[in-house]
A and B are shown apart, each in its own frame.
Chain A
C-alpha cells in the first residue's frame, strides 16, 4: 500500500533539553496510507494532536523522522511542498477563517500558492461545489452556523488540492446537525475525490466510519486495526480499551449486553444497521 505519511522512531518533547522537558511522543512508527480514512483516538493529553502536527511539519521531531511523500519534514526546503500535499483543519472554525466573505476565505490558500486568477476561481468554484456550499459563497462567515463555518474551513483546505486532509476534532464544538454535516462532507471527500483523511476524534460513532484506527496512550500508539477488529468483543479487549478511557460504540455495547443475557449476536457489530439486521435475523 502506498504511504503518504510515514513516521519512523518519532519522538517529540515540548521544551526539549530544558529542565521542564515533557515527552509527548515516544518512538512512534506509523503510516497513513493513500486513500484511507485513518481515525486517531485516545484520551486528552495522549499525544494525538502533537502527532498530527508532525504530518505537515507544524512540529518537527526531536528525534526520528517524518516523511511526507518521501520528503522529510526536517528539511525547511520541503515544507512548502509538504503543506500543499497535507492540509489541516482545526477544532474551532472561528480561529481559522480569515476573510469577511466565504469565497474570499476559500481563495486565500490558492492565492498564497501564487496561482493565476482563472485557476483560483476554478478551484474556489470546485471546492464550493464539492462541499455543497455554493449558496453561501457571498455570505459573511459570522452569519453561518458553526457546522457551516467548519465546512468553509474544510473548503479552504480543499482548494489547495491536497492529497491528504488532517481533521483535528472538527466536530468537538458543533451541534448535532453540524456534526452530521461535517462528518458526511468529510466522508464524501474521501469517497468521491479520493482524498486521504486523518480524523482525530473522541466520538466512537465517527470512528466506526473510518477504514483504520489508532489508539494513542501516553505518547505511544497502543492499538492499531480496523474499527471492527479493535471493537471486537472479548473480556480482555474490553478491559484494555476501558483502561485507556475509551467507550465501545453504542451498537457494540447493546450487542454485548444482549449476549450476556444469553442471546447469540455476532461479536463484531459496530454499526446501527448491523445490530438491527442481526436482531431481525435472530427472530426470523
Chain B
C-alpha cells in the first residue's frame, strides 16, 4: 500500500496573527513493505507529518495519497484509511482505557461490527504478534502491566484493526533498556513476518540505526535528507549542525578513525564494530 505526500504544507492557527508554519512543501513516497526511520529535532514537524498519513489532518495545501486514495477527496473513506494506517502515539499507554488487556484490544474490531468469532481471532492474533500470551494476559488488569507490556498492548490494539502501514511515533521513550529491546523486537517481527510497512519516528539514533533501512531527516518543517540509513549517518557534520547525533557506536568508530584506525564507514551495531575492530587489530599485528 503506497503512500504519497505531494507538496504538503501545514500551518497552525491559520489566518490569525499567530499563524505558524510547520511543514513546507514536503514530498515523500513510501513503497509497500518499506521500513522507514524518521528523525529530527523537537518541533521539526515529524509528528505533524505523521498525522497526515492516517488522515488525522486533511491537507489544505498539497495532497496525501494513501493507496492512491486522496485523503482530501470528499468520497474518501477516512475510517477505512485510519484502519489501514495504524498510528501509535508517544506514551501509547495513555491510549489504553479498558479495564483489561483483551477488552482494550477488542475495541477497534467491535466498532467495525465484526462477528464475535472474528473479534476473538483478531484479539488473539494481535496479542501473539506483540508477544503477549493470550491466556496469561487477556484478562489481566491494564494497571498490572509493566511499561513495556503496556506499550505492546497499545500496539496490539492498533494491530487488531489489521493495518497495512504502522506509524510509530517515539514509542520507546521513557522505557528501560529491556522494555526498549522488547518493543524493537516486536516492531522488527511485524515488519518481517506480517510485511507491514513501518514509519518509525524516534529520538534514539541507536534505535533507528538498528531498525530502519531508509532514513528521513526533518528540520524546520522540511525533509532535508532521505536515503539509506548508513549513508545518512555518514553525514556527521550536517546531522550535528541541526542538533542530531550519530548512533553511539558510530561516534566511537569516528573517533577510532581519527586516531588512525582503518575502519570501514557505516558501522551501526556493536557486533559489526567488534568484528571490524578485531580485523583491523589483527591486520596491524600482522604488519608488526
Contact = CB atoms under 8 A, between A and B. Distances in A.
Contacts of B248: 205, 250
Which residue among B148, B243, B245 has the maximum number of chain A CB atoms within 10 Å of its CB?
B243
A174 B268 CA distance: 22
A94 B248 CA distance: 28
A249 B244 CA distance: 20
A77 to B, nearest CB: 35
B43 interface: yes
B261 interface: yes
A172 B173 contact: yes
Consensus secondary structure, chain B interface: helix
Interface string A218-261: 00000000000000000000000000011100110110011001
A158 to B, nearest CB: 22
Contacts, number: 107
Interface string B236-255: 00000001110011011001
Interface stretch (B55-63, B111-119, B174-182, B224-232): B174-182
A53 interface: no
Interface in B23-69: 40-43
- Summarize A's interface: helix, strand, loop or mixed: helix
Contact of B245 (A43, A176, A258): A176
B252 A251 contact: yes
Nearest to B246: A176
A175 B42 contact: yes
A250 to B, nearest CB: 5
A247 B173 CA distance: 16
B252 A250 contact: yes
Interface string B84-96: 0000001000000
Nearest to B20: A143
Contacts of A275: 252
A261 B278 CA distance: 7
Interface residues of A, number: 39
Contacts of A179: 203
B80 interface: no
Given A43-B146, A272-B252, A247 B177 contact: yes
Nearest to A169: B174
Given A176-B243, A276-B252, A44 B203 contact: no
A178 interface: yes
Contacts of B245: 176-177, 180
A42 interface: yes
Given A43-B146, A175-B203, A254-B273, A283 B281 contact: yes
Given A44-B175, A254-B270, 4 more contacts: A43-B146, A250-B252, A254-B252, A254-B274
6 contacts: A42-B176, A43-B178, A43-B179, A175-B244, A178-B243, A261-B278
